Amino acid sequence: MSELVKRFEMAFNQIHQTLKEMNGYPKNDNFVELLQRSRDRSIIKEHFDSLRQYAKLRNAIVHERVRDGYYIASPHEEVVEELEKIKRTLDQPPLAMEIASCPVMFFYADSDLLDVMKEFREHRVSQFPIYEGPQGLFLGLLTDTAIVRWMSHNVVDGSVCMEGVKVSDLLEDESMREAVFLPEDESVFEVEDVYERSHANGHKLKAVLLTKSGCRDESPLGIVTAWDLIKVDAGVSGDE
């Protein structure tokens, strides 16, 4: 067996093992089937077509061998290097913090609603984490949609009085969607899994908050939304 074939098969088998892990070791562990099931993951989506072609090459190497040491097909060195590069990326996926928005701006329950609305406008975000200070207990996410809904319920003579209104005044009316918390060193793969599980359970997750150890009452270090994952899929860096 040539050195290139050995390297190709080793990298291919390691990627195959990773795909099995991604899919919970299903009974049908056909490489292409696993690849198709994993297609929504950013790293798999990026290399999907290449990996599908490499699967065909691997079948030709393994199943269409004329005799020992003689193969109908053999990978070029560039192909082997690309497959090994994909394998390394799967072994060391990008961290969630690399795509997260940070630092995270947050407010306390006793913050003035007018101050929060000002930050909504200036930073063009759709939600802020809310904490109960000074203990730092996480209460939920206050969204711009929640503010609009609260205003619609408090219209008097065509206007809404915002003076003296606190964030806590909205908490009773707003069913704050709970965010999921993960450690700061978690991978993008785990964030994708969290969103996929949430979607499968019929819950529209608003955000994943990253803290030092993944505890909900620690200071938020980064926040990852579904839009951040879309930017990754589109090949857009969070810094761009």
Residue 134: pLDDT over 80: no
Which of 3-17, 36-50, 104-118 is the least confident region? 36-50
Residue 174: pLDDT over 60: no
**Cα dist from 143 to 8, 12, 125, whole Å:** 49, 45, 9
Token digits for 104? 């995270």
Residue 213: pLDDT over 50: yes
Q: What is the pLDDT of residue 13?
A: 96
Q: What is the pLDDT of residue 40?
A: 80
Rounded CA gap, 105 and 127, in Å? 10
Q: What is the mean pLDDT of the chain?
A: 85
Q: E strand or H helix at 143, and its extent?
A: strand 137-143
In sequence order, what DSSP letters do the residues of 74-120 get, joined into one string? ---HHHHHHHHHHHHHHHSPPBGGGTSB-SPP-EETTSBHHHHHHHH
Percentage above 70 pLDDT, the chain: 88
Residue 70 pLDDT level (bands cut at 50, 70, 90) = low
Residue 221: pLDDT over 70: yes
Rounded CA gap, 119 and 141, in Å? 14
